[in-house]
Every structure is written in C-alpha cells, then in structure tokens.
Chain A
C-alpha cells in the first residue's frame, strides 16, 4: 500500500513543492512517479525513485530509498498543474498512491 500526501496543494509559479509517498513495507527503490493532465494518459516522470525520465525538465527530482519517497518540483511552472501519482513496482499487486493534485495560484 502506498500512502501519498498531500492529496492536493496550491502554490505560486516559482515555488518549490514536495510530494511524499510512504510504502507500507520496504520497496528497495522500486518507486516511480507519474504525471497526469486532464483527459490524458499518465506519463512517467521519475523511475527507480531518483532517475529522471528522458525529456522531463530537470526541475523535477526524486529521493528516497526504502519506505519514504519524495517528488520535488523546483521553480514550479504553470504547465506543472496536474495530478501526480507514485507507484511501487517492487512486488505484485503493484500499487499506486492516491494522487496529489497540484494547482497553480
């Protein structure tokens, strides 16, 4: 089970925001982050907790290793308005966090 927080946040352009995902057991870094915009399929942002997917802006970063993981967006941009999900792929059933809705003030 993946517990994601907060469920929503609102911030200004240029702010730094952090989303946290907590696993119910060790998942050894098998943690991925996805971004979903309205009407679109999710897209991977980070894989293996700390690796930036090709083409994703460097203002996105990830950290964590065993149970607690974070996604940080530095210098928030208007196009970052979306819902963000964490996902563990350490064991089946694979599970997603509940999502964090990021809004721009």
Chain B
C-alpha cells in the first residue's frame, strides 16, 4: 500500500523558516515525481512545488517562488519543502502527493495526476 506521511508543520513566527518532510512507502520512490500542494483555511487547493524523480527538474507556484525550495533524498524515500520568509498568508495545510502516470514510473513534474495524497501537515504562521 502506498503511504505518504508528512511532518514538520507547526506554529512559526512571520519571517521565520520551516522544513516540511514527506516520507513515502509502498512504491519505488526513485521512479516517481513528487508534489507539494497546500490548502489555506477554508479555501481551495494551490500547487506549491513539484520535483522530478531524479531531482533535476523542479517547479514552483507563483506565490512561493523564490521563498520555498523543494528537494528529495531517494535513499531515504523522502521529499522536503524548505519554507523561508514565511508570512501569515502561508498558513495552510500542506499535502504531499505522488505523481502518477498510470505505469510503473512517472518521472516528470508535468503530464501526470496526483495520487495518492498524504493526510497533510498544518503550518500556522503567526506572531
């Protein structure tokens, strides 16, 4: 069974940094791109970032570009989201999701769908 478990969320002051982690199991992690998606309280879904299976191709949403950084460690089956210069507008539930292309691998950040998703980790930015 594919499982994604996020961690690292919590209460942080504006201007500070935070690192989120997502540990994956149940599939060949190094064959799949991974994504971070967030959901602001009571709002819709916003794509935050994605990383290809080998980590060489990365994309960011407009609102986080230049402040957030994604990386992965295939030896640890983990993907990370480094969040810098946090503002109250970054308060959200952050989901980790696996890219799926219908086959045994899905290397690219694009041309796929997100399945499954983790349960999310809540980030609250407040003074």
Contacts and interface: CB of A to CB of B under 8 A. Distances in A.
B50 A94 contact: yes
B47 A42 contact: no
Interface in B89-127: 95, 100, 102, 109-120
25 contacts: A30-B110, A30-B111, A34-B45, A36-B45, A41-B117, A42-B95, A42-B117, A44-B100, A44-B113, A44-B114, A47-B100, A47-B113, A47-B115, A48-B113, A53-B115, A83-B44, A85-B45, A87-B45, A87-B47, A93-B59, A93-B61, A94-B47, A94-B59, A94-B110, A99-B45
Nearest to B47: A94
A12 interface: no
A7 B37 CA distance: 20
Interface string B30-59: 000001010000001111001000000001
Q: How large is the interface on B (under 10, 10 to 19, 20 to 34, 35 or more residues)?
A: 20 to 34
A93 B119 contact: no
Interface of A: 30, 32, 34, 36, 41-44, 47-48, 53, 83, 85, 87, 89-99
Contacts of A53: 115
B84 interface: no
A16 B74 CA distance: 45
Most buried by A among B37, B113, B115, B116: B113
Q: At the interface, is chain A mostly helix, strand, loop or mixed?
A: loop
B114 to A, nearest CB: 7
B40 to A, nearest CB: 12
Contacts of A97: 44
Contacts of B35: 94
A1 to B, nearest CB: 10
Contact of A90 (B47, B61, B111): B111
B58 to A, nearest CB: 9
A90 B44 contact: no
